Amino acid sequence: MKITAIAGLYALTLFHPDIALAADSVVHSDPVSSTHNTTRLAQINSARPATDVDVAPQLVQSIADKVKPALVRIHVVESNTAGGREVRSEGFGSGVIITPDGYAVTNHHVAGDATWVSVTLSNKEIVDAKLIGADPLSDLAIIKLEPREDGQPYPVAQWGDSDSLRVGETVLAMGSPFAFSQSVTAGIVSNTELIMPDNDDFTLAGEQVGSIVRWIGHDAPIHPGNSGGPLVNLRGEIIGINEISMGLSGAIPGNLAREVSTQIISKGHVTRSYTGLDLQPRLRSDAHTSGALVGGVLPNSPAQKAGVKPGDLLLSINGEALDVRFPEQIPLANLQMARLPLSEATTLEIERGGEKMTLSMQARLRDAVMSPDREIKGLGLTGMDITAPIALEYKYPNTDGVVVTTVQDGGPAGSAKPAIEEGDVILAVREKPVKNLAELRAVIGQISRKEGGTPTLVEVRRRGERVLTVANVNPESTEDASVEVAKAYLPISTQVVTEELVQALKLPTGTQGVRITQVHPGSAASGAGLRVGDVIVKLDGLEVEASQEEDTDIFPAMIRQYKIGSWAKVALLRRENGKWQSKQIGIKLPQAPKTERELASYRDTNFGVTMRSVTYTDRLKQDANPGEDGALITGVDEGSWAALGGLENGDIIHRVNGIAVNNMEEARIQLRLLEKQKPRRVVFFVARGVRTLFVELQTDWGQSK
């Protein structure tokens, strides 16, 4: 019975590691001390609510049942910039619904750049959603689910009080790791004031997340995909939003998440104050017992205007004493300053050179550090507006211009003379100033499109210099339509007859040539009577001098000397009745099939898919089944509707919304017809290898561009 009790205690440790400590003392105790340890276990248990200990597995189940309905698995398509273009990519994360009308909180790095959002509820229901607002400084974002068709409210999770968390408290991490359906892991709070190690910044959209966030460190395992999911206590209340994993897991405190969520829901963004103060912990040599060291005062900031100087000891803000002795206290001080009122002056008490003084500071609205960067089509680059913080950081004279963030190699900017580079600030086009992205896009849009582009004067600021360049803007896109030299070919596949094969096949000694490995069905070769296994030794009397693997190209090259449509006489050896017999076969040589590049293709921009007709070669290479026709998909754009719906390269489209398509052109006609009708969803019937399936795609028909 003792062994059974011990085993039971260890099982519980999966959910309540504290018990493991007590179990160890029971296992290793002697008969005398076991009584003492049993008493101690009872004392430990009595200090906790009965639910923590007695019904841990059932408690986890009940918490999961309570919170799960509010959990969402989030699927996004987001837009990023790279190589001078906006590129789309898919991502997955987690979130939790916090209002009955469908507002859900998640991380900024999950949905903050989303152009399309879809969520899956715990009952497997899929609901579209949209991004309401995001706050990179706290790495939080709010999405809103579309109203339910039955009008019912969404289940919600309740907020708890993250300030009351204590180390050792049991917590559960809920979410969708690896985009799996919702899951739960358990652990304890390891640290309630987790900060980043020295020199290890976590930056998001130019914001240092650790400047105001002290994470709740815990050891409930979280994995990619858990981001944005709730960390809940044993009452099923949200006390954190899971965000990072660095050995320990880290969650944004629930109280901060609640504050940010409320602001984004009500006005779409977060309002914070800006002071221009850089605070540090007091130096170790500093004997003061309170206050925060002013490490820096940014130029033209409210703090500078108020007269604060580096080296001052900031003692209180609006009468509230400040104590920053350790790095863990900095985020709280920063939060305090971020919450200062904008409409009234703030009183600062400082100590300078041993003397105390009071200063009055008028905080102002904090700007976002970075604005979104966007593609400037026609110029082959991406750029962003200059914010006040960026101008300050990079010592720009003002916020006029557009900062170049990425450049397309070979595009108009990349091939300008001199080339426009990342980090350049575009100041003028055709000698007219451009103050921001909108103006730059407008002026580029007015320049005519032509082959090769229109030479356009552009002025940029580069490390303090004003440089002029000429870019060929708005080049007409051209397709590479170069053709391959037309060659004759023999519709067979061959292998070289090596000396080893000569011996193994008992061919006449000294035989050189090629063995037929495949005869293309329905071709001139099959019509002429060539067979797999035949050994071709001569071509119009010329010996096929192939005897080593390196000679693979000799026979095809001999064929390519012929003109298309000419006759060639093939001398071969064929095994009949166990003996090799000589034969001669004449064959008319057709034109070699087109290469992949030469084949006509069609790219549908609504779904982001490229296709061409199935060809004879596809069937030969078994990329298509014998006799199969249809439109073969050769490209699926990442983040496109086709990718989201699950279409894949190599799929062969047979039907579009029930209409049969036998080739690319027929598929193109159907898709163009659907573009007029604009149905919400389109169903493709495709072949994937030997299997077939229905793929349902949705598209907004270009509205989100």
What residues act catalytically? 109, 139, 227
Tell me the pairing of strands 320-321 and 170-175: unpaired
Please report, for residues 275, 495, 503, 515, 553, the alpha-carbon distance to residue 532 in angstroms, rounded to integers and kept in the order given: 83, 11, 19, 8, 19
Binding string, residues 413-452; x marks residues near another protein by CB under 8 A = -xx-----------------------------------xx
What distance in Å separates the CA atoms of residue 351 and residue 674, rounded to the nearest whole number? 73
Please report, for residues 48, 157, 359, 398, 703, the alpha-carbon distance to residue 303 in angstroms, rounded to integers and kept in the order given: 48, 41, 9, 20, 46
Q: Does 261 bind another protein (CB under 8 A)?
A: no
Least gap, CB of 562 to another protein (angstroms) = 12
Q: State both tokens at 364.
A: 């102002």
Is the distance from CB of 700 to CB of 682 less than 8 angstroms? no
Least gap, CB of 232 to another protein (angstroms) = 39
Is the Cβ of residue 392 or residue 599 nearer to another protein in the bound state? Answer: 599
Number of Cβ within 10 Å of residue 316's Cβ equals 17
Q: Does 596 bind another protein (CB under 8 A)?
A: yes
- Which residues 654-673 are close enough to bind another protein by CB under 8 A? 665, 668, 672
Q: Does 39 bind another protein (CB under 8 A)?
A: no
Is the Cβ of residue 97 or residue 609 nearer to another protein in the bound state? Answer: 609
Stretch that binds another protein, among 307-315, 334-342, 428-436, 479-487 (CB under 8 A): 479-487
Is the Cβ of residue 261 or residue 494 nearer to another protein in the bound state? Answer: 494
Is the Cβ of residue 222 or residue 636 nearer to another protein in the bound state? Answer: 636
What distance in Å separates the CA atoms of residue 676 and residue 555, rounded to the nearest whole number? 53
Please report, for residues 119, 275, 318, 341, 544, the alpha-carbon distance to residue 344 in angstroms, rounded to integers and kept in the order given: 42, 13, 11, 6, 95
Stretch that binds another protein, among 95-103, 147-155, 284-292, 482-490 (CB under 8 A): 482-490
Is the Cβ of residue 474 or residue 610 nearer to another protein in the bound state? Answer: 610
Is the Cβ of residue 432 or residue 597 nearer to another protein in the bound state? Answer: 597
- Out of 183, 226, 334, 408, the residue judged to bind another protein by CB under 8 A: 408
Q: Does 699 bind another protein (CB under 8 A)?
A: no
What distance in Å separates the CA atoms of residue 326 and residue 323, rounded to the nearest whole number? 9
> Nearest 10 degrees: CA dihedral of 51, 54, 57, 61?
-30
Stretch that binds another protein, among 54-62, 294-302, 602-610, 654-662 (CB under 8 A): 602-610
What distance in Å separates the CA atoms of residue 217 and residue 427, rounded to the nearest whole number? 46
What distance in Å separates the CA atoms of residue 306 and residue 361, rounded to the nearest whole number? 5
Is the Cβ of residue 205 or residue 636 nearer to another protein in the bound state? Answer: 636
Least gap, CB of 663 to another protein (angstroms) = 12
- Which residues 63-122 are close enough to bind another protein by CB under 8 A? 83
- Out of 185, 263, 512, 640, the residue judged to bind another protein by CB under 8 A: 640
Is the Cβ of residue 271 or residue 649 nearer to another protein in the bound state? Answer: 649
The answer for 637, left when phi > 0, alpha when psi is -120 to 50, beta otherwise, is beta
Q: Does 679 bind another protein (CB under 8 A)?
A: no
Coil, helix or strand for 76? strand
Least gap, CB of 613 to another protein (angstroms) = 11
Q: Does 484 bind another protein (CB under 8 A)?
A: yes
- Out of 217, 331, 475, 630, the residue judged to bind another protein by CB under 8 A: 475
- Out of 163, 286, 409, 696, the residue judged to bind another protein by CB under 8 A: 409
Size of the site for another protein (CB under 8 A): 55
What distance in Å separates the CA atoms of residue 103 and residue 261, rounded to the nearest whole number? 9
Q: Does 454 bind another protein (CB under 8 A)?
A: no
Q: State both tokens at 370.
A: 């970075």
- Out of 239, 429, 554, 572, the residue judged to bind another protein by CB under 8 A: 554
Q: Does 470 bind another protein (CB under 8 A)?
A: no
Any alpha helices (H) in 324-411, and if so which ranges? Answer: 330-338, 388-393
Please report, for residues 136, 259, 519, 526, 569, the alpha-carbon distance to residue 516 in angstroms, rounded to integers and kept in the order given: 64, 75, 7, 11, 15
Coil, helix or strand for 2? helix
Residue 197, preceding bond cis, omega within 30 degrees? no
Residue 418, preceding bond cis, omega within 30 degrees? yes
- Contacts with another protein by CB under 8 A lie at 83, 408-411, 414-415, 451-452, 475, 477-487, 545, 549-550, 552-554, 557-558, 560-561, 595-602, 608-610, 634-638, 640, 643, 649, 665, 668, 672, 675-676
